[in-house]
Amino acid sequence: MPRPIQATIHTSALRHNLARTRLAAPDAQVWAVVKANAYGHGIEQVFEGLRGADGFALLDLKEAEQVRALGWRGPILLLEGVFEARDLELCSRLHLWHTVHCDEQIDMLALHKTHEPHRVFLKMNSGMNRLGFSPQRYRSAWTRLNALPQVDEISLITHFSDADGPKGIAAQMARFELATRDLPGERSLCNSAAALRHADQPAVKADWIRPGIALYGSAPDFPEHDAAQWDLQAAMSLNARVMAVQPLQPGDSVGYGSQFVADRAMRVGVVACGYADGYPRLCPTGTPVLVDGVRSRTLGRVSMDMLVVDLSDLAEAGVGSTVTLWGYAANGQVLSIDEVAQAAGTVGYELLCALSSRVPVHGVDGLDLQPW
């Protein structure tokens, strides 16, 4: 029998979340962002649930090839564009649209031999200071691109640094609008947080939105809102089984560093999940889990292959009980990945992306968990 841990990808949740993001911007087209192996879910596992999107946005050429190999003939956008000149050959061959964020990428395009001109997304650095041309240099980059026979349509793209927080998007919006006022082309501005939180501003939603995290059912602005408040469903469940049970007497400790010490008689379960599976070692005692669908907590330090949960108030639980680390339990109860991430001092994004390759992943079309 394989080690009793598995991740389940819920196709119906992906479909629901895609519909939910469309609702936020009903006139826009939707890029399903599937970078980082679809935020840890696996491109193949999410394809069925997200194929209703208008396009797929990602970073790695390998992932673009994977999406084409799955039979997708629609748009694919490289969010960081090409990294070297020969990447453009693959763009021509696979009909990839690509972001242009720097002069070097325009230089490469100018030297590229192609029969079909490329659709490009010209990126503005409107304040995040990662990628893109400054508002002052944007127009000259546009003019230069527009003069190239290698370039077909030019779309306009920028990215918000604070769509999830109190600073908001107004200043970046204003810079983008001013610098692009009389430029033609489709526009793309919104990530998940902008699409959900700033849905009242029509200009934000533009022609293409680019949701990532919302599609996977994690709230972009937890704890201000949780996934349920945004009507998002967890697309990934991580479940493992109790492998052993230990009785504790007052004064007994649990795990490396004896970080948890019992102050009364207890019963604890040892679960087949550790940081080598992607469960954060930084989760302290008290991090929520579901045991057979009932809320409990972790005890002591997470180790590489195991962690320990409190079974003291769960008389029915024992060896073989299913522990939900995040997502759905068999009884339909859900544990938000955002809560677990918060306990570890991080965000749902990081936990999803960190799911380890040693964890078997199954896709299911309902919320049902596969039999082990």
Ligand X SMILES: *Cc1c(COP(=O)(O)O)cnc(C)c1O
Report the catalytic residues: 35, 256
As measured in angstroms, the least distance from the Cβ of 206 to ligand X is 13
Q: Is the dihedral angle over the CA atoms 95, 43, 83, 120 positive or is it negative?
A: positive
Q: Among 6, 11, 192, 233, which residue interacts with ligand X (rule: CB under 6 A)?
A: 192
CA distance 323 to 75: 40
As measured in angstroms, the least distance from the Cβ of 292 to ligand X is 32
For residues 177 and 143, the answer to whether their CB atoms sit within 8 Å is no
* Binding window for ligand X (CB under 6 A); candidates: 136-144, 190-198, 223-231, 269-277: 190-198
Q: H or E segment at 204?
A: helix 202-205
Check binding of 159 to ligand X (CB under 6 A): yes
* Binding window for ligand X (CB under 6 A); candidates: 137-145, 187-195, 255-263, 315-323: 187-195
Check binding of 22 to ligand X (CB under 6 A): no
As measured in angstroms, the least distance from the Cβ of 232 to ligand X is 11
Q: Of 11 and 191, which CB lies nearer to ligand X in the complex structure?
A: 191
Residues 6+ apart with CB under 8 A from 333: 290, 293, 294, 295, 324
Q: Among 5, 90, 213, 270, which residue interacts with ligand X (rule: CB under 6 A)?
A: 213
DSSP class of residue 276 equals G
Residues 6+ apart with CB under 8 A from 120: 97, 98, 99, 100, 109, 145, 151, 152, 153, 154, 155
For residues 317 and 269, the answer to whether their CB atoms sit within 8 Å is yes
Which two structure tokens, joined as six digits, stand for 298? 């972790």
Check binding of 217 to ligand X (CB under 6 A): no
Site string for ligand X, 75-114 (x = CB under 6 A): ----x-----------------------------------
As measured in angstroms, the least distance from the Cβ of 324 to ligand X is 23
* Binding window for ligand X (CB under 6 A); candidates: 45-53, 185-193, 272-280, 350-358: 185-193
Q: How many residues bind ligand X (CB under 6 A)?
A: 13
Rounded to whole angstroms, the maximal C-alpha distance in the chain is 77
Q: Is the dihedral angle over the CA atoms 202, 208, 213, 217 positive or is it negative?
A: positive
Q: Among 49, 81, 211, 288, which residue interacts with ligand X (rule: CB under 6 A)?
A: 211
Question: Applying CB under 6 A, which residues contact ligand X?
Answer: 33, 35, 79, 159, 191-193, 210-214, 220
